[in-house]
Structure formats: structure tokens, C-alpha cells
Structure 1
Amino acid sequence: MLERLGRGRGAPDRPGGAIVPAELVAAITRSRIRVSPRPDGEGNLIVSVSSPILGAFRWRGIEDAAERIAATYPDLGRAATDRAARLLEAEVGDRLIIAILREPPRSWVWDF
């Protein structure tokens, strides 16, 4: 009976090889993400990403990030590339939330 209960356990298989290499995950989580205090010509925030593996680039969306990851890791599958791009998008989103919610500096005129 115990054999039947334990059958099928273990690490689940990931379809399509969607496992992101540990070094890429570490590089994404340690990326420096900078939000410029001034917007671009269209009024959008300027977000710069600097990663030890992916290099420095301006964040333009998840598609551009997936292309950069695929160029850096050509043997990585499409599912793993998309997963890594979504991880980078989450890191950028966390940084944007902090930048947006941060209080603007108070004027020295009112600091009495």
C-alpha cells in the first residue's frame, strides 16, 4: 500500500524544457533597475536595466527582454526564455511601484 501512495512523487516534469538556468535567475534578480526622474518625449517613464549577463539596456517591454535573453542564451527553449523575461518584468514592475509610490521631495519653503 505504501508503494502505491509513493508512486508518482518527485519533481514534476516541466513541459518544453522551461527550466531557467540558475545563473540567469541570479543575474535577473541582481539586476540594477533605475527609473529616471524625468519622462521621455511621450510621457513614459525611462527605465534602465543593467544586468551582469544581459548587459545594460533600456526597458521597452517583455518582447524586447525575451529577444535579448534569447540572443544571450541561444540554446534556451522558448518556454524558458519567456519565463525568464517574465521574471525580469516582475523585477522591473517591483521597482516601478517603488518609484511611483515614493513621495515627491518636499519644498524647503514648507520645511519649518
Structure 2
Amino acid sequence: MISKLSKILTFVFLFTITTGFIPIFALIGPGITVVSSGNVYKAGAQYLIDHTMKKKTGKSTLEHFSDEIKTQNKEFNMNEELRKLVERRILETRAKLDLTKFNQ
């Protein structure tokens, strides 16, 4: 039993080292799901979603997710810059109008 487990672990370790780490996660993820929850259907759905995402986008789910976060951060930064620009323009306009004369 122990020798079988050591052979499997050796194979997984060598496969991980020689493939660049990332492709193995697509196989380990559903395996961990089966072991932790015992739900084969959930693991199959997870593998199917990962495979479909890779086929449609050309990226793994992790790469796709990180790209979406980067895009959202860029949009947030652009909104922040626009807000600062508008606030600065409002302050400049108020200074030019000299609104103290209108409040009397």
C-alpha cells in the first residue's frame, strides 16, 4: 500500500515539475473535490467548466479570472481619475466666479 502511494506521489511530483505546474491544477482540483466532498458529480462539473473555459477563451479559469480583475481595476482607476478631474474643475470654476458676492 505504501509503495503504491509513493509511486503515485512520485509520478504526480514528476508530472508537476515537467509540465510547468499550471496544467496539473486542472486535474488536481476535481480530485480534491472528490476527496473532500465525496461528490463525483460536482468534481465532474468543475472539470467540465474548466475544460469549456479553456476551449472558449484559450485561458485557464485562473488566468481568465485574474485578467477580469485587472480590467476592473483599470476601470476603477479611470473612474477615480475622472472624479478627481471633475472636482478640480468645479473648484477652479468656483474660484473664478467668486461666489461670496452672491451670498450677501
TM-score (norm 2): 0.30
TM-score by length of 1: 0.28
Query: Which structure carries more relative contact order (alpha carbon 8 Å, separation 6+)?
Result: 1
Which is strand-richer, 1 or 2?
A: 1
Q: Which structure shows the higher helix fraction? A: 2
